[in-house]
Homo-oligomer: A and B are copies of this chain.
Amino acid sequence: MADIRITLEELEKTLAEKFEKHGMTREDALKSAGIFTRNAADGVISHSILRVKRMVGHCDCGIIVPTNMPILVSGFSAVERYDANKAPGVLSAGFCMERACELASQYGIGMVALAHANHWMRAGYYGWLAAEKGYVGMCWTNTLPNLPSWGSMESNIGNNPFVMSVPCKDGNHMVLDTSMAQYSYGKLEVTRIAGKTLPTDGGYDENGNITRDPGAIEKTRRPLPMGFWKGSSMSILIDATAALLSDGANTASVGQYMKENGCDETYVSQVFIAIDPRALGESHFQEIEKSIKDSIHNAKPITEGKASRYPGENVLASRARAEKEGIVVSEEVWNSILAL
């Protein structure tokens, strides 16, 4: 089937209808559809349109209870701990980052930890959310075991996405959104289907050799951590901080929970931090921002005409294009959403 083009309005309206049909209140359905649509507009189809069907399935099977919201477990001044209470992942994560921003407006910094959460889809969304309110944002989540720790044959750690964001002039925020795997399974699949090899080493083949062949890595399910031992180490600390602060499940326990309940990924632990730079008085950040962006853009590029970019640089352009031209989706995927 061919690709089709849908407008953001049509996408958002359709998703809101489906989410409401599968149990969300009208208000929550609109909010969730807004997040999925923004993620698609920003170019992250993998964690929006391509995940709608699975997310709706979770509403049906009970992994998500569509009318639930997180419950406050404990709090002290600038820190709070919630239990996600089976709430939809994008709503509970959005709630927590907004709450962290509120705490930051009161205390200069705020931290919210969330236990037993559903998948928040695109990690970077919550970094953008904080930056758009003028806060430095940080957040991270653990995941099911899907990556081998350095030196291990088994996938015993998570790819544990990590986000840092900085509010910049005219909405051109800098937003890091990185998982601890060098390549996602999505990227492996796309590269294999295109008949290409990865640009750098990506994982292990069946003989235990490091390879750039995406299909071989999909078979072993042993992708490489980003930076080898470095991403492995960072994944472990992301897991430990998230589980400790939320008093939730660590990656191994998420895997155990999924096995016991025969279900998809859920029950993850998340941390959200917001810092208010305005609380610290005058800053010369416009000059600093310009110096940072200039130093990235003006460095002599390896490939003539292909300057380095800062994280998040392409997002606003992608969003503007999507607003004007809509989004390209495979007809098959779109039909499967319409059928929900």
**Using an 8 Å CB-CB cutoff, how does the interface string of A268-297 with B read, 1 for contact, 0 for none?**
000001011101111111001101101110
**Using an 8 Å CB-CB cutoff, how does the interface string of A285-312 with B read, 1 for contact, 0 for none?**
1001101101110011111001111110
5 closest A-B pairs by beta carbon, nearest first, are A226-B227, A79-B108, A227-B227, A252-B295, A152-B299
A-B contact pairs, 20 of them (CB 8 A): A76-B108, A78-B109, A79-B280, A80-B280, A152-B296, A153-B299, A153-B300, A156-B308, A157-B296, A166-B240, A166-B241, A178-B230, A178-B233, A200-B228, A226-B227, A244-B289, A247-B285, A252-B292, A252-B295, A273-B273
Task: Looking at the assembled complex, report how far the CB atom of A279 sits from the nearest CB atom of chain B, in whole angstroms.
Answer: 4
Contact (A288, B240) CB under 8 Å given A78-B108, A311-B233 = yes
Copies in the complex: 2
The answer to whether A111 touches B275 (Cβ under 8 A) is yes
Contact (A152, B107) CB under 8 Å given A178-B230, A252-B292, A292-B252 = no
Segment among A16-24, A47-55, A143-151 that sits at the interface with chain B: A143-151
The B-contacting residues of A in range 189-246, CB under 8 angstroms, are 200-201, 208, 226-228, 230-234, 236-241, 243-245
**A136: which B residues are within 8 A, CB to CB?**
241, 244-245
**A241: which B residues are within 8 A, CB to CB?**
136, 164, 166
A319 at the B interface (CB under 8 A): no
A251 at the B interface (CB under 8 A): yes
**A238: which B residues are within 8 A, CB to CB?**
164
Would you call the interface of chain A mostly helix, strand, loop, or mixed? Answer: mixed
**A243: which B residues are within 8 A, CB to CB?**
285, 288, 292
The answer to whether B176 touches A276 (Cβ under 8 A) is no
The answer to whether A230 touches B226 (Cβ under 8 A) is yes
Chain B residue with the shortest CB-CB distance to A253: B291
A261 at the B interface (CB under 8 A): no
The answer to whether B152 touches A308 (Cβ under 8 A) is yes
> How far is A280 from B111 in the complex, measured between Cα atoms in Å?
11
Task: Looking at the assembled complex, report how far the CB atom of A263 sits from the nearest CB atom of chain B, in whole angstroms.
Answer: 19
The answer to whether A237 touches B283 (Cβ under 8 A) is no
The B-contacting residues of A in range 152-193, CB under 8 angstroms, are 152-154, 156-157, 164-166, 174-176, 178, 182
The answer to whether B152 touches A284 (Cβ under 8 A) is no
A118 at the B interface (CB under 8 A): no
The answer to whether B288 touches A113 (Cβ under 8 A) is no
A106 at the B interface (CB under 8 A): yes
**A307: which B residues are within 8 A, CB to CB?**
151
Interface residue from B75, B109, B166, B280 paired with A237 (Cβ < 8 Å): B166
Task: Looking at the assembled complex, report how far the CB atom of A204 sits from the nearest CB atom of chain B, in whole angstroms.
Answer: 8
A119 at the B interface (CB under 8 A): no
